[in-house]
Amino acid sequence: MSKKILIYGAGAIGRGYIPWLFKEKNFDLYYVESNNILRQKLKSKKTFKTYMTTETGYISHDTNIKECFFPGEELSTKFDGAITAVGPRQIFELKDNLKKLNCPIIFFENDSTIPNKFSKIIKSNNFFFGIPDVITSNTAPKILLNEDELAIVTEKGEAYADISAREMGGHIKFINQDELKKQWIAKLYIHNTPHCIAAYLGSFCNFKYVHEAMNKNHIYNIVENSMIEMAEAIIKVFGLGSNFVEWYKSKELKRFSNKFLYDPISRVAREPFRKLALTNRLIGAAQLCLRAGVIPKSIITGIMAAFLYDDHLDHDSNIKILFSSLPPIDFLSLIINIQPNEALYELILSNWNINIEKLNDIKNGR
For the chain, domain boundaries: 3-175, 180-363
In order, the DSSP letters of 35-62 are: -HHHHHHHHHH-EEEEEEE-SSSEEEEE
pLDDT at position 288 = 98
Mean pLDDT (whole number) for 94-101 = 91
Is a pLDDT exceeding 80 seen at residue 138?
Answer: yes
DSSP, collapsed to helix, strand or coil, labels residue 228 as: helix
CB 101 within 8 A of CB 122: no
Q: Please tell me whether residue 261 adopts helix, strand or coil conformation.
A: coil
Please state, for a pLDDT cut of 70, what percent of the chain lies above it: 100
CATH-assigned architecture of domain 3-175: 3-Layer(aba) Sandwich (3.40)
DSSP state of 163: G
- Residue 366 has a pLDDT of 66
Q: State the distance between the two ends of the chain, measured CA to CA, in whole angstroms.
A: 62
Topology classification of domain 180-363: N-(1-d-carboxylethyl)-l-norvaline Dehydrogenase; domain 2 (1.10.1040)
Instruction: Give the pLDDT confidence of 17-30 residue by residue, as tens digits.
Output: 999 999 888 999 99
**Triad 311, 317, 318: Cα angle to 5°:** 140
pLDDT averaged over every residue in the chain: 96
Give SS3 for 312. Answer: coil
**What pLDDT sits at residue 365?**
81
